[in-house]
Amino acid sequence: MSYIKIVTLFVLTGSCVGYGREYRVDSQEEFNRISTVQMRPGDRVLLKRGVTFTGMLTLQGDGDEGQPVRVAAYGDGHRPVIQAQGQHRAGLLLKDPSFWEIQGLEITNTNGTDEDQGELFGIYVLADGKEGVFQHVYIDDCYIHHVNGMVAGKRRGGIHVHIKKLRRSKFDDLRITNNRIEHVGGVGIGNDSSCGSVKLLDKGFDSQNLWTRVYVAGNRVDITGRNNVIGRVSKDAVYEYNTLAHSSRRSTGHSIFCFNTDGMKIQYNEAYGNTGEGGIDRGGFDADYNCIDTFIQYNYSHDNNWFCGIMKRPTRNVVIRYNISQNDREGIYFYGFERERQAENVHIYNNTHFVRKGLDVDVFVNGRTPINTRFENNIFYFEGRGEWGENAVGINTVFRNNLYYNIEPHPSENQAIVGDPQFVDPGTAGTDIDLKTMAALDGYRLRSGSPGVDSGLTIDNSGGEDLLRSSVDDGQVNVGALESKN
């Protein structure tokens, strides 16, 4: 293979058509220069392992179908490090990109203080220069840490993808996977758009420029100034297998929530450590407003102020099912925007709620009023004494066939199951569990003599499986999140 010097700063290899070029960057001088090169389909930019670079890597150009531009590491040793030092917008910036893949980098962006240093990011993908569909942007296995001070803000932070100033654009095939993000101001992972929206109408809804094939999975996000993750402006996005820890250290915010979405699935995630003052938005999960057909399912919430928020501004068809809440400290459900009445068709079923002795927990935290909600086949288990909250009767809220232990059945309940559910080993699931198997939650299986075994209602379109992926058969349904029995 021939080697060609590029302005004597770095080498270019692989000049064959269809294979692209390879740029190996192993010095600060080469790092500065690479931002001036227009990338072409199939090109690779490789940063040398063991080397620390300062500044912002700004990459230009596009790949093509089957020939993305790739940015990765080469050589031996620890990841290549980009230190933007709080003086640049991001450690890595992609502008108006299509067909790019980023992998294996380490990025910081702070001056070392806890002060607010501006609109800073670790990796920032920004479309603001031309209208269009921006395709195939993959960010995988990067380590983003110490970005900004420990500050709030929803539109800055670790890895963000934004459309600004455009009117008819979207992203298609966006994947943010297997990254570690910690000690960042703002939000760990987020996206937003100037032209994407969902508007609920009296009949149906209207959506504009929603992003497609959005997949956010396998990330660990720990210690953020605001939320761990925000998912916006998408159609049928999937957010799964993410560990979400210690969010909102500077301001309140649920660990993960969706906004302006259609068909969002938030599943197989663990959220914990979202505690503190403020009285609002301190839960693990949140079905926010301007959304339709939201699924919060197969998740594990523990040691937050509460498990899940449901916003009462316009939202429709919220399904919260087969989740486990363990020792959330102040409550279980938080209905946001107390004076609003626009949440429609909220269905909460086959969840298991476990509260250890010593915690002062209301089911409906902070006196909030549930609205337009059905609760079915859930387990409410208190080792001590549980309370409902002062406005628990709710508005058009109905409980049916739920199991209660150390808490009185809800006033609307007409098929209460009262007694010990006889869990195998409750309260022991721990932290940082294996989200691919969820095996640590096995202790919430019901023993064979449990009053919850085969006593659940059959729910139409229930997904067909429980939290541990055991089949749920019509007519033989357990209450709670686990169908498998001891």
Calpha distance 81→91 (Å, rounded): 9
Calpha distance 466→441 (Å, rounded): 12
Calpha distance 235→440 (Å, rounded): 32
Cβ-contact 108, 76 below 8 angstroms? no
Calpha distance 22→12 (Å, rounded): 5
Structure tokens of 372? 């337009």
- Give the per-residue pLDDT at 1: 29
How far are the Cα atoms of 11, 147, 150, 243 from residue 156, in angstroms, in the given order? 35, 9, 12, 20
**End-to-end Cα spacing for the chain:** 62
Burial 364-376 (b: 16+ CB within 10 A, else e): bbbebbbbbbbbb
Which helix or strand (DSSP H or E) is residue 371 part of? strand 371-376
How far are the Cα atoms of 1, 27, 86, 211, 476 from residue 30, in angstroms, in the given order? 21, 5, 21, 35, 65
Which residues lie across from 125 on neighbouring strands? 94, 161
- Give the per-residue pLDDT at 89: 98
Cα–Cα nearest to 68, from 140, 166, 165: 140
pLDDT, averaged in runs of 10, over the chain (486 residues): 33 49 97 96 98 97 97 98 98 98 98 96 97 98 98 97 98 98 98 98 96 98 98 98 98 98 98 93 97 98 98 98 98 97 98 97 97 98 97 98 98 96 97 98 97 96 95 90 82
How far are the Cα atoms of 75, 133, 324, 399 from residue 327, in angstroms, in the given order? 46, 44, 10, 22
**DSSP 8-class letter at 248:** -
- Give the per-residue pLDDT at 462: 94
SS3 call for 53: strand
Cα–Cα nearest to 171, from 213, 123, 215, 231: 213
Structure tokens of 446? 């019901």
- Give the per-residue pLDDT at 14: 38
Cβ-contact 313, 342 below 8 angstroms? yes
How far are the Cα atoms of 111, 157, 262, 314 from residue 232, in angstroms, in the given order? 30, 15, 9, 15
Which residues lie across from 346 on neighbouring strands? 318, 373
Q: Where are the beta strands (DSSP E) in 75-142?
A: 81-83, 92-95, 100-103, 106-109, 121-127, 133-140
Calpha distance 287→310 (Å, rounded): 5
Pairing relation of β-strands 300-302 and 306-311? unpaired
Q: Which domains does the chain have, with CATH numbers?
A: 3-444 (2.160.20)
Cβ-contact 73, 105 below 8 angstroms? yes
